[in-house]
Structure 1
Amino acid sequence: MAETAVSLAGQQLLPKFLEALNMLKDLPKEVAYLTDELQSFQDFINEADKVAETEQDGVRRVSIKQRVVRLREVAFRVEDLIDEYKICEEKQPDDLGCAALPCEVVDFIKTLIHRIQVAYKIQEVKSLVPAERDRFKSHFPLEQKPNSSRGNQNVTWHKLRMAPRYTEEAEVVGFDGPKDQLKDWLIKGRLERTVISVVGMGGLGKTTLAKLVFDNKEVVGCFDCRAWITVSQSYTVEGLLRDMLQKFGEERMNVSSMDRMSLIDRVRDHLHSKRYVIFFDDVWNKYFWDEIDYALIDNKKGSRILITTRNEEVAEFCKKSSFIQVHKIEPLCEEGSLRLFCKKAFEYGSDGFCPKQLEDISLEIVRKCKGLPLAIVAIGGLLSQKDKSAFEWRQFSQNLSLELDKNFNFSVAKILGLSFDDLPHSLRLCLLYFGMYPEDCEVKSNRLIRQWIAEGFVKPEGEKTPEEVAQQYLVELILRNLVKVCSFTIDGKPKTCRVHDLLHEMILTKIKDTGFGLYIGEHNDSISSGIVRRLTIATNSDDLLGNIENSYIRSIMIITSERLSEHTIRRIPTKYMSLKVLDFYHSPLYYLPKNLGNLINLKYLSLGFAIIHSLPKSIGKLQNLETLEISFTLGIVMTKEIARLRKLLHLRITRFCYFEAVSLGGLTSLEQIRTMRIDYDGVVIRDLGKLKKLRDLSLTHFRRKYRFILSSSINEMHFLEKLHIETNNTNEVIDLSDVSLHPTLKKLCLSGKLKKFPNWIPKFQNLVKLSLESSFLTSDPLESLKDMPNLLCLNIECYAYQGESLHFEDGEFQKLKKLRLQKLHHLNSITIHRKALLCLEKLELCQLPKLKEVPSGILQLEKLGVVHIGMMPNEFMEKFLKYEKQKRWIVHEGRIYKKF
């Protein structure tokens, strides 16, 4: 009887067992299908969003939005399931025949069960996607529209090489008169402190105009001290004062713990004897002036405060305690509007000139922008990426009219919305990510790109690396004038970028409505009751994380200057185990939980201003981690478990890290190590040669006995672009004469003693930046460097040169843009011959105690615009000021701080 029962059970289980095996066999195909289906489903959701936005009936609009939320929840389930499958596949052990030990058999069975569960979930979701789509269409039919965005698949960095075309000045049209008036108000007139207010609605170019004047050479030359402070809606007085002091040269850590009165006293002390100009950008609150007035001392030296605001009441409030000048900015005239539009729409191919067949339609489109530069720039950027077809442009103009008519009045937000809708899905996600950062925040491009990749926004394209594709995405957003470049690297790549505050407002609305993310600031503590995919916390509260639904959260960014409690940090690995991005930004971090390894999906981990001595051993469980960043640590012990992170690409520590005796040879994906301390026995560098993908390597505590093994390792790095070698002992000599020619090397820093100038450096013909520090050279290094064809930046500092003179001869350094000479205690003369340094734009002279004469030939440097002077002899300063009055350079005085 028992045997019959067992036989019957076996017969019943066999079909299910066979079904499970078949599902496992087809699992990769099912996931591939689901991935394609997800892309189509996301496009459908975007169209459904547009239906909700354009619906005039309020009740119906709410109903559509509720249905769209359900669609997004399904899309999130699909995304999470695909991620779960990837994790499951990575954990899959060898087949059962190889699992000899009992524990291996158990692991095999667990993984098998997990894969079967994933297979069943996929079948469930597969049917859910079409069901939800059909249900939506049955209630709210969608119009079938072709996708008008063709995108730009071939955008490259070379389009951004000419930086001025992408600065604020590129958008200046019709500002000549207002610019001259503001400049006169700043540098002429009363000795009493004066407030100058630029007032106008959003999108008129207030910041562009004010910054153009603020950075004017003549204006800069009239003030001893200057600072540009972004205020926006969510400011705190303490935050503004700290920001101001940092702009004056104070270290962040020195002012981070000061209260308001201490900060005010420090600001007043700094400004007491100086003629200063402070630019407060984007002031909203009319009571702002009451809060900041006392800190800005009226020292009767002609100091000025420049304010931009949309609120005329702000200007009125300033009158209570200060003399004020008000400039009300007006929309562009039709001629100026058309000129700006053509500048943006026809920048490539037509050099800013409108083709004849598009003249009438261009004017028609421009008139709809009502003279607002931001709207004109956005539409021009959108159309610059489309074919120059009169039919297509006329169709766009008609659609623009329809969209504006639906809103019953003109709206810059509507214009920006059209530019957003024209983006491909991947670019929309990348643009929305700016909403996870504070308003007016200048974001480092490399940081942004790595986060996009970690989030999964970047889709594979042929043989391009994900970083190359992400760079392409950023370039296209810049070309469409949706992202502004704030600064460039020396070789012409965007270094930092941001979005306009009006665009940021639109993005914040979209990320909240769509569940893409939620930004919680100091004055915005409302917690969304709906789905939240990404979370930014810019305020310090232990209750926030506890009140937010966590099932969908995949990214957390914490931006606060206050110390985070241990309770808050400990909660994250327990409650948010599916995170892909965990970013403490610049938040002080004194604790890391031992169970950090719970976050097995994590791809991007940034530990802010970490004051920690070691990483938890569980970090070795983060098998998907691609980026690990630790800022401002005083030195950290890197646990040997780091060697298990096989997917790690970027390891960035801004001071240095000490590795336990461990082989890094298995981390073959690594592209960046910055900064690694070499242990006394040199264990950590023995396998560096196995890291053949390294592009950026920074090492400290170099000893000469490592020269052969390090040179041999570097010779294996065929993609190396940046190399930094540093000693910690003035008796140690850097000798890498066995390094072979690396055509890829672009940036080199040697910080340590050199017996003589290395003859191998000039062989790096593609080098764009060279820094020599603590080299103690006695012979002039310029003789060896003069003919390097691509050298753009040269730093000679910290006792790098012991000689008394430097000579820049005729025809030398033809491409050099930046030159820094700092802490050279024997240097007493610099000679610049007539045809040398023809492209020099920035000169830094700091702590040269014996240099009493201004470099001869400095007046002939036609492109020199910025001179940084720090701690120079009085004799030098007296003579330099006479030169400066002739050339009107932008001059900065004080210490030179390196940026990490």
Structure 2
Amino acid sequence: MAESAVIFLLNKLSNLVETEFQLLNGVWQEIACLRGELERIRDLLKDADEVEETSDDQGLKVWIKQVREVTHDAEDVVDEFILVHAHHHLVGGEVLSGCLYKLSCCVKSLKSQYRIALQLQRVNGRIRDIYAAHKRLCLSFSVSLRGSCFTPSGETWHDRREDALFLADNDVVGIDKPKRQLVEWLINGGSEREVIGVTGMGGIGKTTLVKKVYDDFKVEKNFKIHAWITVSQPFNKNELLKDMIQNLSYVIKRAIPEGMENMNYEELITIIKNMLKERRYLIVFDDLWNLYEWEAVKYALPNSKNGSKVMITTRKDDVALNSCKDFKGKVYNLMPLSQDVSWELFCRKAFAGNPCPPYLFEICKDILRKCEGLPLAVVALSGVLAKKDTWRIDEWDMIRRCLGVEIQGNDKLEDLKKVLSLSLNDLPYYLKSCFLYLGIFPEGYLIKRMTLIRLWIAEGFIEAKEGRTLEEVAQDYLNDLLNRNLMQVAGMTTDRRVKFYRIHDLLREIIISKSRDQNFAVIVKEQTTTWPGRVRRLSIHTSLPNVQDIRLGSHLRSLFMFGVVEKSSLHTLFQGSFMLLRVLDFQRAPLKTFPVEVADMFYLKYLSLRKTKVKTIPRYIRKLQNLETLDLKKTCVTQLPIEILQLHKLRHLLVYHFKVESYADFYSKFGFKAASGNIGSLQSLQKLCFIEACHDCNMILRELGKLNQLRRLGIMKLRRQDGKVLCLSIERLKNLRSLSITSTEENEVIDLQQLSSPPQFLERLYLTGRLEELPSWIPSLHGLVRLFLKWSLLRDDPLVHLQDLPNLVHLELLQVYDGETLCFKAGKFKKLTLLGLDKFDKLKCVQVEEGALPCLEKLVIHRCNMLWSVPFGIEHLTKLKVLTFFDMPDKLIMKLQPDGNGEDHWKVKHVTEVYSAYWRDGSWDVYSIDSFRERQSKQPPGIVMGSHDLRTLWKV
């Protein structure tokens, strides 16, 4: 993190130098000096995180800490200068313009610059002292940083890691199924040489599993040549090849070639190829970290077409995938242990195989839940608990409550900590801050993808890349963390976009510990009694009766609220200094008015008042000239002041709320009235949802065409006569990915026929209102993945025009067509996975030809009162998993009963989940088809479907 902090500040200084600030020569000189000193320091910090984690050299750790602290102080000084300069610039333009006032501003600015120059001098002096101190530490520093990434303590851990190679069968649980699969892949594969990759997060048991497969009798019998190669760090390709030669020489009983120590890479490759040629071999490369490690060895593995195999273990999915692409093969993603297997392993270690005492049951379950099926964590924590007396319940409970502290301070958990930390230390500098940032969210929190991206951008973590938006670069960062198995996907949209992420609880404990040690972020809970005096990021997770004791200095950059906070506590929080704040997230806070203190937060880039009761946005919001995200979703705000148009850096403007009185209401979402003005001046805007077009409509719609960076646009209350102007604007939005349009009322026509050249990258389209005919340009949207049509009342069958959309995966149609028949033709809708049909009042027959909808997984049919039978041909939908009927005739449901009377039951027998739901008193009663007769006889309902399944319907 020291390297990350230094590089972050260097980038800021580079941007500062490029500006046109009029500075005293002394300030410029000190800033130039600061850049030079930081660049010298940066070159010494390449492997600082590994050293800080593994080295026993306390002097070196203190040195790295000093670098981090002085970098933060330097950043504070630079930020304060920019703030002072901007303040005088703004005030000078808004208040008196007389000569006396201008002179006063100049004097104040000069005083500020002299003060800042003095502060910079002091910082530069400290940096020079720190650099000089490095020379005194030169010997240990060069050994630790420029030598191996693993110091002696690290090597000790690595030796312990190899204990996994010698575990007895009765010490291993939960691997029978994956072992059988891997053995089958090895012995039943074709004649081509193949690679089998085993991936998963650190500590999940990859080495243990592959070693058991490697030693299996059937595997040994199938391969004449066996070799197990542990890939050491730091990686040296020649040393790895020499290790292979030594292993293979022993196996084939041949002397090690003379002069091997002096051979070059090509010579070593040739020797290995000759040793393996014409032999059926199995070679395991354990713990590959990077693609270049695979590239270094793959050319030594000949393809004699005799069924040879290569296995690799890695924490990185891309290493496994690319190695399999090179040689063909398969990837096995090792999953965590199940709850039952984890409990078996836990009791075996903690209680020597005896049952858990009943009075410790809940405590042990909570501890085990944090392990989340990670075998190394289960073994490590149960091993610690095994040393404790079972009657000391307080000691067991302390580990449950303070697991992070225990991991940090207990020597018996050192291996677990280092295994989990290795992946963090391997991150490039630009990902380390992003990863530590995940610790601000509460335990078990589902992290929204776009929220996280916007926060990272606001913090300045995302580096600009030519030709790409910051959001696109941030998505690459997320993909990299997923690839490294440091994050988990917790929820996806129907079109396969990740919506939520989460992190493993134990990884989160490691993150929180590192964040606290490096003063990156502080988590405050009810039981928190102390915290650092110089907090940079503060995340409050629950109600805090002692919040008045918090002293927030000017160093604070981010403030988060999670959970209920009393109004008095909020008022007390604002007594601190927030002049350098970049992020303010007051989601769900008990606010009714816009906080007046926000007006002074010049640096603020991210402001979320989501799910508060704020009703109005004041005109002084114009002062937030750096604001990039304004999140007012699910507030009471319905109108924005015209001053919002002065925020030219705004990238995401979210202002809408829901009011659902019935699930089928025409209006379930409400946007905001835009003030008359030049909305086209917001050139950085990427997301605009949802703007009401009914006020000064032509002007607003015309201005939208100037927002050439717009990715998502939501328009409400559109009139028929406004269609032409809107079409002209949409044609200019070349980067648009998502478009949502709602008419003023259910019978108002949406006229989009004049859109001759729709955005070529459009992926999601939502049209709510009357359509006289389906827009002719929709079939040309080859990138379209989601399409929602509501209240269209088309005269012609829309399926004819939609069936050849090549990438459509989600289609929902509500009161779209008045015909009596819908027919899904063979070979059409090739990628559709979710289909919803609602309120087709005359629909009597749905036909699915064999070969149609080959990928359909979920079919939902609503309120089609004339439809008395399931779709003909539904038995052909072999991938259908969920079939749900909402407010459908009982006659149809009765035909699906499995009691022998349901004549159509055989058609849906292959479907895993079949439900019937009815809207009652503002909510859904949901039954499995098996329990339908119980509902008819007024008995308790059957299986209730999760509300998350219902929310996918009709949600734009």
TM range (shorter): 0.5 to 0.7
Deviation at 1:40, TM superposition (A): 6.6
User: Which of 674, 680, 685 lines up with 1:665 in the alignment?
Assistant: 680
Alpha-carbon distance between aligned partners in 2 of 1:179 and 1:565, rounded to the nearest angstrom: 59
SS of aligned partner of 1:434: helix
Instruction: Determine if contact 2:834/2:859 at 8 Å carries over to the other structure.
Output: yes
Overall identity of the aligned pairs, in %:
32
Instruction: Determine if contact 2:79/2:580 at 8 Å carries over to the other structure.
Output: no
Instruction: Determine if contact 1:659/1:679 at 8 Å carries over to the other structure.
Output: no
Alpha-carbon distance between aligned partners in 2 of 1:542 and 1:67, rounded to the nearest angstrom: 38
Is 1:578 matched with 2:580? yes
Distance 1:409 1:841, change over 3 A: same
User: Which of 661, 671, 696 lines up with 2:712 in the alignment?
Assistant: 696
Distance 1:759 1:364, change over 3 A: closer
Is 1:886 matched with 2:884? no
User: Which of 517, 538, 542 lines up with 2:541 in the alignment?
Assistant: 538
Alpha-carbon distance between aligned partners in 2 of 1:85 and 1:67, rounded to the nearest angstrom: 27
Deviation at 1:489, TM superposition (A): 4.1
Alpha-carbon distance between aligned partners in 1 of 2:857 and 2:846, rounded to the nearest angstrom: 17
1:806 counterpart residue number: 822
Instruction: Determine if contact 2:436/2:511 at 8 Å carries over to the other structure.
Output: yes
Is 1:54 matched with 2:70? no
Instruction: Determine if contact 1:24/1:115 at 8 Å carries over to the other structure.
Output: yes
SS of aligned partner of 2:715: strand
Residue type of the alignment partner of 1:54: T
Alpha-carbon distance between aligned partners in 2 of 1:512 and 1:723, rounded to the nearest angstrom: 43
Alpha-carbon distance between aligned partners in 1 of 2:22 and 2:648, rounded to the nearest angstrom: 31
Distance 1:647 1:848, change over 3 A: same
2:67 counterpart residue number: 71
Instruction: Determine if contact 2:845/2:869 at 8 Å carries over to the other structure.
Output: yes
Instruction: Determine if contact 1:41/1:75 at 8 Å carries over to the other structure.
Output: no
Q: Which runs of structure 2 are paired with 1:341-360 in the superposition (5 Å)?
A: none
Deviation at 1:625, TM superposition (A): 0.7
Distance 1:28 1:573, change over 3 A: farther
Q: Which runs of structure 2 are paired with 1:222-233 in the superposition (5 Å)?
A: none
Is 1:142 matched with 2:141? yes
Alpha-carbon distance between aligned partners in 2 of 1:684 and 1:364, rounded to the nearest angstrom: 58
2:79 counterpart residue number: 83
SS of aligned partner of 1:413: helix
2:560 counterpart residue number: 557
Residue type of the alignment partner of 2:752: L
Deviation at 1:874, TM superposition (A): 2.4
Deviation at 1:386, TM superposition (A): 11
- Structure 1 length as normaliser, TM-score? 0.66
Residue type of the alignment partner of 2:434: C
SS of aligned partner of 1:714: helix
Post-superposition Cα deviations, 1:767-811, rounded to whole Å, max 9, x if no partner, equal 2211111222232211111122222221112x2333333211122
Post-superposition Cα deviations, 1:628-647, rounded to whole Å, max 9, x if no partner, equal 11221244221221111110
SS of aligned partner of 2:893: helix
Deviation at 1:488, TM superposition (A): 3.4
User: Which of 618, 621, 632 lines up with 1:619 in the alignment?
Assistant: 621
Alpha-carbon distance between aligned partners in 1 of 2:632 and 2:582, rounded to the nearest angstrom: 17
SS of aligned partner of 1:80: helix
Deviation at 1:735, TM superposition (A): 0.5
Alpha-carbon distance between aligned partners in 2 of 1:848 and 1:106, rounded to the nearest angstrom: 75
Alpha-carbon distance between aligned partners in 1 of 2:861 and 2:35, rounded to the nearest angstrom: 57
Alpha-carbon distance between aligned partners in 1 of 2:282 and 2:118, rounded to the nearest angstrom: 59
Alpha-carbon distance between aligned partners in 2 of 1:625 and 1:883, rounded to the nearest angstrom: 59
Alpha-carbon distance between aligned partners in 2 of 1:876 and 1:494, rounded to the nearest angstrom: 36
2:130 counterpart residue number: 132
Rg larger in structure:
2
Deviation at 1:766, TM superposition (A): 2.1
Distance 1:178 1:796, change over 3 A: farther
Distance 1:24 1:177, change over 3 A: closer
2:738 counterpart residue number: 722
Residue type of the alignment partner of 2:738: K
Alpha-carbon distance between aligned partners in 1 of 2:601 and 2:453, rounded to the nearest angstrom: 21
Distance 1:748 1:464, change over 3 A: same
Post-superposition Cα deviations, 1:97-136, rounded to whole Å, max 9, x if no partner, equal 9x97545565566556545544443343233223234336
Deviation at 1:517, TM superposition (A): 0.7
Alpha-carbon distance between aligned partners in 2 of 1:439 and 1:175, rounded to the nearest angstrom: 31
Instruction: Determine if contact 1:564/1:589 at 8 Å carries over to the other structure.
Output: no
Alpha-carbon distance between aligned partners in 1 of 2:482 and 2:655, rounded to the nearest angstrom: 29
User: Which of 695, 706, 722 lines up with 1:680 in the alignment?
Assistant: 695
Instruction: Determine if contact 2:883/2:915 at 8 Å carries over to the other structure.
Output: yes
SS of aligned partner of 2:680: coil
Alpha-carbon distance between aligned partners in 1 of 2:636 and 2:846, rounded to the nearest angstrom: 37
SS of aligned partner of 2:748: coil
Deviation at 1:679, TM superposition (A): 3.8
Q: Which runs of structure 2 are paired with 1:166-565 in the superposition (5 Å)?
A: 174=175, 176=177, 332=209, 334-335=211-212, 362-363=285-286, 379=315, 411-522=415-526, 524-541=527-544, 543-544=546-547, 546-560=549-563, 562=564, 564-565=566-567
Deviation at 1:726, TM superposition (A): 0.7
Instruction: Determine if contact 1:843/1:868 at 8 Å carries over to the other structure.
Output: yes
Alpha-carbon distance between aligned partners in 2 of 1:39 and 1:382, rounded to the nearest angstrom: 33
Alpha-carbon distance between aligned partners in 1 of 2:147 and 2:486, rounded to the nearest angstrom: 19
Distance 1:81 1:850, change over 3 A: farther
SS of aligned partner of 2:827: coil
Instruction: Determine if contact 1:511/1:517 at 8 Å carries over to the other structure.
Output: yes
Distance 1:808 1:885, change over 3 A: closer
Q: Which runs of structure 2 are paired with 1:5-84 in the superposition (5 Å)?
A: 24=24, 31=31, 34=34, 38=38, 41=41, 50-54=50-54, 69-84=65-80
| More divergent stretch after superposition (873-882 vs 610-619) | 873-882
In the alignment, structure 1 segments of 5+ residues that lack a partner are: 1-20, 150-171, 181-201, 209-329, 346-353, 367-375, 389-403
Alpha-carbon distance between aligned partners in 1 of 2:439 and 2:72, rounded to the nearest angstrom: 19
Post-superposition Cα deviations, 1:717-740, rounded to whole Å, max 9, x if no partner, equal 121111111123123211022223
Distance 1:337 1:470, change over 3 A: farther
Distance 1:737 1:364, change over 3 A: closer
Is 1:848 matched with 2:851? no
Instruction: Determine if contact 1:615/1:639 at 8 Å carries over to the other structure.
Output: yes
Post-superposition Cα deviations, 1:159-192, rounded to whole Å, max 9, x if no partner, equal xxxxxxxxxxxxx983649999xxxxxxxxxxxx
Instruction: Determine if contact 1:81/1:122 at 8 Å carries over to the other structure.
Output: yes
Distance 1:204 1:787, change over 3 A: same
2:785 counterpart residue number: 768
Residue type of the alignment partner of 2:640: M
Deviation at 1:758, TM superposition (A): 1.7
Is 1:746 matched with 2:763? yes
Deviation at 1:649, TM superposition (A): 0.4
Deviation at 1:666, TM superposition (A): 1.6
2:248 counterpart residue number: none
SS of aligned partner of 1:129: helix
Which fold has the larger relative contact order, with Cα–Cα distance below 8 Å and residues 6 or more apart in sequence?
Answer: 1
| More divergent stretch after superposition (425-434 vs 542-551) | 542-551
Instruction: Determine if contact 1:623/1:645 at 8 Å carries over to the other structure.
Output: yes
Residue type of the alignment partner of 2:755: V
Distance 1:41 1:588, change over 3 A: farther
Alpha-carbon distance between aligned partners in 1 of 2:180 and 2:842, rounded to the nearest angstrom: 45
Post-superposition Cα deviations, 1:54-101, rounded to whole Å, max 9, x if no partner, equal 355xxx85x87666554332121122334345556666859x99x975
Deviation at 1:698, TM superposition (A): 0.3
Alpha-carbon distance between aligned partners in 1 of 2:40 and 2:872, rounded to the nearest angstrom: 66
Residue type of the alignment partner of 2:211: E
